[in-house]
Amino acid sequence: MYELLTGPLLWLSAAICVVGLLYRIVTYIMGLHWQLDRVAYGANPGRGLKGAALSILAWLIPFGCRNWRVKPGFMLMFFGFHIGLVAVPLFLAGHAVLLKEGLGINWPAMSMGMADALTIIMLVSACFIIGRRILLPEVRIITDFKDWMVLAITVAPFLTGFMAVHEVGESYRFWLLAHIITGEIMLVAIPFTKLFHVVGFFLSRGQLGMDFGIKRGGARKNFAW
């Protein structure tokens, strides 16, 4: 079972994730309205790219945008969740070994202590996210079953991985297999669920930044509208 999960099924899951993301990126860009979006971007690429970069950076830096400044608690929860979500899978030592064995890539790895700390912060932040969705009416009303499923799919690989690494109980192999399975489910789900925002964030935020930088930045002349 382990050989199957870390062999063909792992690379199949990764392939589905990569191909699915490429498809979503292409369809997103192709779906931009030719007159309202593409004309402006093509006519003012410098202003547009500057606006996109500033918009993305503002949301990637703590207190970089107004939304973070007025909701510092939510900001801490957001960054705690997403930093662990991205950093641990990318730089976990065990994952670096798989890349070395499978593709011959010498990938950098973080220490186990750092991975544990980021995982715990991510899981604690997930608990706050759950509480926020339950307790705040304005959040609860827009949260549906799909949102809960996406959160479960996201948290499961971290929880099972933590249990496996620290050999909680006497079921190390169970937790290891559960970690691999849930991780592969997450890979497959990324292009087809709200997890697409791992890439979609940069597309949508970049587009909004370009819109503000061009259309609301004094460069309206010579446009079709």
H runs (alpha helix) in the chain: 2-6, 8-30, 39-43, 45-60, 66-70, 72-91, 93-103, 112-135, 137-140, 145-165, 172-189, 197-214
The token pair at 16 is 């589905």
pLDDT of residue 222: 54
Residue 189 burial by Cβ neighbours in a 10 Å radius (0-12, 13-18, 19+)? buried
pLDDT of residue 128: 94
Give me the tens of pLDDT residue by residue for the chain, a chain 225 residues long: 777 887 788 889 999 999 999 999 999 888 877 666 666 777 778 888 888 899 999 999 988 888 889 989 899 999 999 999 999 988 888 787 777 776 777 888 888 899 999 999 999 999 999 999 999 999 999 999 999 999 999 999 999 999 988 877 668 888 889 999 999 999 999 999 999 999 999 999 988 888 888 877 655 555 554
d(CA 91, CA 78): 20
The token pair at 113 is 């202590």
**Domain ranges across the chain:** 2-214
pLDDT of residue 37: 66
Q: How far is CA 66 from CA 61, 79, 152, 223, in A?
A: 11, 15, 29, 30
Q: How far is CA 39 from CA 36, 44, 135, 140, 177, in A?
A: 7, 9, 44, 39, 50
Q: Please count the CA atoms within 13 angstroms of the CA of 43 that sit on its side-chain side.
A: 18
Tell which CATH classification among 3.90.660, 1.20.950, 3.40.50, 2.60.40 matches the domain 2-214: 1.20.950
pLDDT of residue 219: 54
pLDDT of residue 106: 82
